[in-house]
A and B are shown apart, each in its own frame.
Chain A
Amino acid sequence: GENVEQHPSTLSVQEGDSAVIKCTYSDSASNYFPWYKQELGKRPQLIIDIRSNVGEKKDQRIAVTLNKTAKHFSLHITETQPEDSAVYFCAAPYTGGFKTIFGAGTRLFVKA
């Protein structure tokens, strides 16, 4: 069935280290893969997204990679900073792009 699996559920890194969060989706027709960041008590906000016609996209310290064959995509954060501490969600569209399924989230802790 329709599903987005996200791992790990919790990730703790030292400031300056890299963090990687992975998601797997089930619908081969999905063509848009966003990542949202939710700080404590705030609403989710898009930080980066990728469409199925590219394999990688980068924006300063964050990057997303997509492997359509394996149906998984990953968020990479380099040189982590304490303000990167938040919950990160991946998502994928289903049913022709109208239904959206989110991963369960990854709580990232960046220790100073």
Chain B
Amino acid sequence: EAQVTQNPRYLITVTGKKLTVTCSQNMNHEYMSWYRQDPGLGLRQIYYSMNVEVTDKGDVPEGYKVSRKEKRNFPLILESPSPNQTSLYFCASSPRSGAETQYFGPGTRLLVL
């Protein structure tokens, strides 16, 4: 089944404790992206990747890192989480770019205390 998966689905952590949210897709898509969703603000793009080893900043990259060592995986890294990073995070992928249908993962709800 073609899909985008994320782990964990729910995470409670404390300020400053490094964490990684994984994202994987099995559709051989070149383009992958991370979004955060906050009430009243919609979906805001954190980082995107056009292909292996090619990443760029979205609108809200501060406090986040990403890597794209393999085509199928695009982990989101919070090196020193802060309470303002409490949010619902979605990973998405599309065949080649943001100018095509994006397929979203199930979401990761993060609470930073």
Q: Name A residues whose Cβ lies closer than 8 Å to a Cβ of B.
A: 2, 6, 9, 31-32, 34, 43-46, 49, 89, 91, 93-94, 96-105
Contact among A46, A94, A104 with B102 in the assembled complex (CB-CB below 8 Å): A46
B48 at the interface (CB under 8 A from A): yes
Whether B42 and A105, one on each chain, are in contact in the complex, defined by CB atoms closer than 8 angstroms, is yes
B41 within 8 A of A: yes
Type the 1/0 row for B54-92, where 1 means its CB is closer than 8 Å to any CB of A.
Answer: 001011000000000000000000000000000000100
Chain A residues contacting B104 (CB-CB under 8 Å) are: 43-45
Q: Do A43 and B50 form a contact, CB below 8 Å, given A49-B101, A89-B43?
A: no
Contact with A along B36-57 (1 / 0, CB 8 A): 0000111111001010000010
Q: Told that A98-B98, A100-B102 touch, could you supply 5 new A-B pairs with CB distance under 8 A?
A: A44-B43, A96-B97, A98-B48, A99-B48, A101-B45
Q: How many A-B residue pairs have CB under 8 A?
A: 62
Task: Name which residue of chain A comes closest to B56, CB basis.
Answer: A98
Main secondary structure of the interface of A (DSSP, over half): strand
Q: List 12 A-B contacts (CB under 8 A).
A: A34-B101, A45-B104, A49-B101, A89-B43, A97-B99, A98-B50, A98-B97, A99-B45, A100-B48, A100-B98, A100-B102, A104-B42
CA distance A91 to B43 in the complex (A): 9
Q: Count how many chain B residues have C-beta atoms less than 8 Å from C-beta atoms of the other chain.
A: 25
Contacts of B97 in A (CB 8 A): 93, 96-98
A43 lies within 8 A of B106 (CB):
yes
Contacts of B59 in A (CB 8 A): 2, 99, 101
Question: A102 is contacted by which of B31, B42, B99 (Cβ under 8 Å)?
Answer: B42
